[in-house]
Structure formats: C-alpha cells, structure tokens
Structure 1
Amino acid sequence: MTDSMTITRHFIDVRNPDGSARRVHYRRAGQGRPLLLVHQSPRSSAEYEPLIEKWAPHFTCIAPDTPGFGESDPLPHAAPDVKDYAEAVFAFLDAIGLPQVAAYGFHSGAIILITAAKHAPQRFSTIAAGGYAMWTDEERRAFAANYTPPYVFMPYGEHLTWTWSRIREQSWFFPWYAASDANRLPFPHDDALKNHAMVMDVMAAGPSYALGYAAVLQAPRDLPEAGQPTPPVLITGYDGDPLTAHIDRIERLPQGWATAKHKLPEEAEAAALSWLQTHAGDGQPLPRAPDDEGYSLNQLHWLGDRASGHVHLHAPGSAAEFAHEPGQLTLDLPGHGLSVPEAKNPDEALAILSEALSTLLTATPSRITGDGASSVLAARLSAAYGLAPEPIIPGPHAHIPNLVPDSYGSHLTRAFAWARAEAAFSGRPSPETVRAIPKGALDPARLHRRTLALLRSRGANTLTDALGRP
C-alpha cells in the first residue's frame, strides 16, 4: 500500500475528437487542491518526480505524459499542432473528472497550457509557467528546417548515437544544432545520468519526438487579447535559461498576468509555488486513482487479464511486452519494464510479486510460468499457491553487458548490440549458440523497444546469477 505522498503511476483512457480511445499514463501524489503539471518536450512526467515530491504537501499533483511521450499513446494525427496538444489536456481533465484545475508547465508545457487557457480559460484557476517562448518568424523557419528531423529507427542502432549527441549538446548550445561560440549556453555540463534520463524519454517517444517538439516550436504568440477572459498567469525565468530573454519580447501583459526573472532555478520554482498557492481555486472534486490495467497497488506493472488463471514472468533483462500472450496475466519483474519497486535478490523479488498478485488476481491461479531464470521464481510462486511447478523453460543465457551510462553514450551501443545478438543466438555468439531467428526479431522498431527494455532493467544480472541459469 502507498500513502498520499508516494508517487504512484496509472493509465486511463481518454477520448480523441474523432471518438477513438487513447491511453494516457500519469503520475500522482499529494494532498489538497489538484495541480496539473505538464512537462516539456521531449521529456515525460518522470522529469517532474523531484518537483512532485516537493509540492505534494501543498497540492495533489497530477502529471500526465503528453501524447506520444513517456507511455502515453500518440494523437491520431499525422501532423498535430499545438492546439491538438491543448485539446489533449482537456480530454485528460475530462477523463479524470476535473472541470477546473490550477496548472504548472515548463517550456513546452507552458506553451501547451497557455494555448489551452486562451481557448478555454474556465478550465484553469491559474497557471504558473516556467519560461514561455515568443518565437520570431525567422526562428520558427529555422526550427522547422533544423530542430526536429524525423526520428528513424536504424537496424544497427545508429539513431541512438545521434540521440546521445543531440541531448548532450543541448546543454552546450541553443539551438542545439547551431554549435558555435555565439550560441553557447552559460552552464554546460557533461552529466551522464542527466543526459541518460533525457535520452530514455526520447527513446520512449520514438517518432513522436519530432511531432510533439515541432508543434510547440511552431506555436504562435497565443496570448489573450485585451478584454478576453483569462486565468491569472505567472511567467518566470532564471539566469541561464534561454527562454528568460523571451520575457522581454512580451509587449503587453494580459490583465492579471505577471512576469519575474530570477538568478537561480530554485528561486523561480519557489515563486511559481507561491503564485499557485495564492491563486489556485478552492478546489474541485479530486479524482480517485483508478485500479485500471497497468499497475498493482504496490506499483508493479502488468498486462493482460486479472481473471486469467495463467500468470507469466518474463526473463531477467526483458519486459512483459515481449513475453505477453493472450490469456495470460504477465508481470514486469521488479526493477524491469515499467515496474516501480526494485529487488536486490530473489527473496525480495518473490515478496514483491506475491504482494502484487494478492491484490491483482480475481481468480485462483492454475499455472505460473516463467522464461529463463524466471522459471525458478515461477516455481517458488507455484509452491506458495499449492501448484505443481512448471517445467523449467530455457531462456537467454548471455550475460548483459555493463550498461552504466557514460559521458559518450557507449552504453547505448552496447545495449543495442546485445539486443541484436539476442535475436540470433541463445548465448554469446558462437556455432553452439546459433538459433532460428524469430519472425520480426530484427525489425529496427522492435530492436529499439528491446534496447529500451534492457536499459530499464535494474539488477538483471544479479537476479539471474542468484537464480541460476536454466
């Protein structure tokens, strides 16, 4: 079980304008009045976890992944614009039952929120914006030509080398593609972990990366005209943020709006919190965190049917999406896929899995199976339910390489090369480990997702070594 200060993750279905359904992934934590947080491109709501932890004592923070980013489905448009992303905000608010909300957005998130507020001001009690872009026509033309090339999956992982370089140099130059002394940013860094977090979000977005980014980069100056209804809005900036200079481009502030420049990001964040606390409404009915398909109460991710009698575990280093078949309830192992809890050893993994099943299952299990080393976990779970253990299923034996992020992104190359070799061999490539290549296993899009799952795996080698290699 979790308390209100613990960040939990959820999925919910929303309605597109054409009536089709779209899944949205979101994070939630806190107490009190609801606060919507909209992240920047090309990130996901994961970037707000530190902020949610700070603001959860003051608000019920609700942070969705915008369409096509994180784990949210993309919009059903070939070339969505910023208004489509604004409409997606309304669809999400409708789905979780919030007619009005206070909101915070950073960079792209601010652009989406202010666009949304212009078209439906009654949906917001107030907005705090961490930066707001007032692009010139010349900038929009340059961005259209250079900023968001199509994101194409390549068969040997070449696109991951580009992704790492793209994100690494984003902290050195703005725009990222204009590497020159004139475009240097004041606080360059070479923090591998910070870059890796952004790269993982780009990888999760895939082709949506270019669509969502392009939409906000081509957004017009969409401020309310004099006399138009508007919620109160604060736009902040801080030294080193390239959008701080855009505050001076605002020729006329709408009534009830304010701007503020600060030296430090923490000062801008504190100002935003103070604004939201002052201007947020008295509150709307808070949506209940639904027990929908996606997460158990202890935040283990699952796919399939809770009433199924067949529970299945993927191999360490993989994810449920690669092991799920119809008629199964398939779990992401602790420290794998989208599961939040981690396990240091098989006993911890077994305890987490047992806790998840105790709240998930709506029928008594009749089979518990596992791939590779997870067959051992499955046998121990079977014993706990009084079931005969299933036969041990041989699985991938190759030891996963060191995937600790480094400054040059070579861990991405290692991960993709491992995923490609896995498709053709049952262990370290040799004549003895050759196996038939499953249909579609070398498709670049599948290899990309397999690499992402591998990079998300935490403690896979430790778990495999402790369980033994069937």
Structure 2
Amino acid sequence: MSKSRIVTIDDQKLHFYTMGKGPALVMMHPSPSSAESLLPLAKELAENFTVFCVDTPGYGKSDPLVKKPENLRDYTRFLNKAFFKLGLEKPALYGSATGAQLAIRYGLEYPEAVSHIFLDNSAHFDDDLRDKVLKNYFPDLTPKINGNHLDIIWTMVSQMFQFFPWCFTTEEYALNRPQMPLVVLQMVAMDYLKAGEHYDVAYKAAFKHEKGEFVQQLKIPTTIFRWNNSIITPYIDSLLAFELPSNINGFYIEGDAAERSMKMTSFMNSISKQIPIHTIKESAMEVLPDEQVIYVKPTTYPPKIEATGKYLHDAWNQLVLSNTHLNAKAIQESLVDWYSSNSE
C-alpha cells in the first residue's frame, strides 16, 4: 500500500508516494498529470523496488519552485537536494514524457547519483516541429469565471488522441485510431484542471529538451522503451535512430497496454538486482497535512460525462451559482473536488 509523504527543502514541499522494498526507484510523471498516474505501474514494481512516485514541483501536491523555472536544471537541482535528504544515494530513475526528460537531465547533471535510467515516451523532435509546438501547443488556461477556458481544455483533450501534436489537425498529424473512452478524456481533463494556469511550465521545458543529442551524452545504463501504440511512436523511432552509445539500449514492445505494462514491469524487475541498496532516511519524510476544499457542494451528483464537453460547463455553472463569493481559481478547485468525491 502506498504512503503519501513529503520532504521539505528550503521551505518547499516535495510530495511523493512510496511503497515496496528493495533498491530505490524514483518515478517521474508526464505533464500535466501527477504521481497518481504512475501508481498502477508502481504497485507492479514494489515487490522488487522501494518506489518513490514524485510529484514534479508545481504539480500534484508538490509546491512550485519559488522562482519560476527557466529550464529543467532548475528542477533537477531541487530534486537532487530532496533525494540527498531522503538518502536516495544512487536510485534508478523511471520517467514518462516530461518525467523522461527530467530523468535525462538528472542523469546528465548527476551521473554519479544514478544507477539506471528507464525512459518511457521519450522522443526526438526536429527544431522546426519543436518551434511549432511551442507556439501552438500551450494555450492560456487561466480560469475564467464564465468557464470559457473549459472549451479549450475539452478541445485539447478530444484532439489529443486523434492527432499529435493535438493542435495540428491535418492528415499529416492524424493518428488514425479510435477515440479514447469518455472516462479517459475526463481523467485527462481533470489533470489540466488540477494543474491550473501554470500547467505548461515543466511541460514547455521538457519539449525544449526533447533532443536525441542529450540522450547521446548519457554515461550511465539507460533503457528506452518503444511501444508500438504510443501516440509519439514515430518520434521515439527518431530518437532510436540516433547513433547511441553501448550503455543505451532500446526495449521494443508490441501489443496492447496490458502487454506493455507486463513487459516493462518484468524487464525493470530483472534490472533491480543490479541496483545498489542504500539506507533510506525515513526520518526525513513527513506526512502531508490534509487540505479540505471549502465550498458549497450542490446536493446532486455532478453532470454525467458526455462527448461534447458541455457537462463541464453545466457543472461549473452550478458551482458558480452556489458559491458566488469564490473566484475562478477556487471554483476550478471545487469542480475537481466535486468530481473526485463522486468518482464512483
């Protein structure tokens, strides 16, 4: 069973879930989600690793960095202090998407402090595509009291599994795959709502870092997972097409999501025997105080999820009518809590 914990560095809280036994494995999530998204995989790895699923600063339950990060080094510098305080002397790192770029940068900055890196959804983008993504992929999602930002979020979420990048809807970028179930779209929409107006800070920094040249520079054992059903498979292939040193290897997975999880878990567990075990400093971990969202909750269940996204507006309007004293940011927090507390 996972424990929700924090470690405090310079008055800033880094939140993580921890579970399991064995050598340390730090897991870092995609943007704009949180460590919660990694818990199913973490539970599969917990028999062979002591797993730490970390909320990137500014996401999930972690405080944002005091100074707005300019690049991934600002994150890895803070993470290094936190890992040192926790006694994570030479953990393995797993990262997906933004988390993968954090793992790469951490390995470049602190090669002596990492035993193995597992890269999931790590890619290479050429400069032209990267520039277009940075200009179009990250709209302003500042909460508006009229709820109009919800339309942008639902457009992003709906197109995300149909096109990559989501913002380019021509055939060149079409994924030609079935739309995800509504429950998945709802989950991703909630990730954006939870992350709030600063959802793009680590996200943008990661896109700027998504270059094969950085991976080539890694000196420690590294595994790049290549899954044929990823929405960025062509760009993972672009990364694997680089001339990579012998310490970096691709691990190819066919099949569906269940096979992906099974094969990744099996491979990572086999590597656990090569990871040194260090004494983790339990005394450095603190329990995160409970924070309750204060608002007037409508007596009915929130509107049912539907494909147009109109349900989000309906829920938003109900909360605004019941909480006329709250600003848009507080309404957004209430919306997330209302759906979370009725997730069944």
Match of 1:322 in 2: 294
Structure 1 distance, partners of 2:335, 2:48, is 38
Deviates more, 1:170-179 or 1:44-53: 44-53
Match of 1:138 in 2: 128
Q: Which residue of 2 aligns with 1:450?
A: 334
Counterpart position of 1:277 = 270
The structure with the largest alpha-carbon Rg is 1
The reply to whether residue 179 of structure 1 matches residue 169 of structure 2 is: yes
**Paired residues of 1:128 and 1:276 also in contact (CA < 8 A):** no
Of 270, 286, 291 in structure 2, the residue corresponding to residue 292 of structure 1 is 286
How far residue 275 of structure 1 moved from its aligned partner, in angstroms, is 4.3
What residue in structure 1 maps to residue 24 of structure 2? 34
Residue 237 of structure 1 is matched in structure 2 by 226
Q: Which has the higher helix share?
A: 2
Distance 1:167 1:95, change over 3 A: farther
Distance 2:315 2:78 in 1: 34
Does structure 1 retain, via aligned residues, the 8 Å contact 2:115–2:220?
A: yes
Sequence identity (%): 21
Alignment map for 1:55-454 (pairs within 5 Å):
55-219=45-209, 221=211, 222-223=213-214, 230-245=219-234, 246-249=236-239, 250-264=241-255, 265-273=257-265, 274-275=267-268, 277-278=270-271, 280-288=274-282, 292-294=286-288, 302-303=290-291, 320-322=292-294, 396=296, 398-424=298-324, 441-454=325-338
Instruction: Check conservation: 1:80, 1:212, Cα contact below 8 A.
Output: no
Partner AA of 1:450 in structure 2 = S
- Superposed displacement of residue 102, structure 1: 0.8
In structure 2, the residue matched to 1:353 is none
Deviation of 1:398 after TM superposition, in Å, equals: 4.4
Whether 1:11 aligns to 2:1 is: no
* TM-score scaled by length of structure 1: 0.66
TM-score (norm 2): 0.89
- Contact kept, 8 Å, 2:24 with 2:50, in 1: the verdict is yes
Classify the secondary structure of the residue corresponding to 1:169.
helix
Moved more, 27-36 or 409-418: 409-418
Cα separation, partners in 2 of 1:60 and 1:145, compared to 1, 3 Å: same
Shift of 1:150: 2.5
How many Å separate the matches in 1 of 2:335 and 2:297?
Answer: 17
Q: Which amino acid aligns with 1:445?
A: K
Aligned length: 338
- Alpha-carbon distance, 1:456 to partner: 2.0
Cα distance between partner residues in 2 of 1:143 and 1:242: 15
Change (3 A) 1:443 1:238: same
Q: CA RMSD in A?
A: 2.5
Residue 293 to residue 268, structure 1, CA distance change in 2 (3 Å) = closer
8 Å contact kept, 1:129–1:272: no
2-structure distance, mates of 1:285, 1:46: 25
Per-residue CA deviations over 1:183-202 (Å, capped at 9, x if unaligned) read: 11143323121122222221
Higher relative contact order (CA 8 A, sep 6+): 2
Distance 1:291 1:257 in 2: 33
Going from structure 1 to structure 2, the CA distance change for 1:60 and 1:239 (only over 3 Å counts) comes to: same
Distance in 1, matches of 2:108 and 2:298, equals 55
Residue 217 of structure 1 deviates from its aligned partner by: 0.9
> 8 Å contact 1:236–1:244 — kept in the other structure?
no
- Using the TM superposition, give the Cα deviation of residue 76 of structure 1 relative to its aligned residue in structure 2, in angstroms: 2.4
Distance apart, 1:7 and its partner CA: 1.9
> Structure 2: how far apart are the matches of 1:182 and 1:291?
48
- State whether residues 143 and 149 of structure 2, in contact with CA within 8 Å, keep that contact through their aligned partners in structure 1: yes
Deviation at 1:248, TM superposition (A): 3.8
Give the secondary structure class of the aligned counterpart of 1:255: coil
* Mean CA deviation greater in 170-179 or 194-203: 194-203
What is the letter of the counterpart of residue 336 of structure 2? L
Q: What CA distance in whole angstroms lies between the structure 1 residues aligned with 2:190 and 2:68?
A: 23
* Shift, 1:137, TM fit: 0.7
- Specify the code of the residue in structure 1 equivalent to 2:321: A
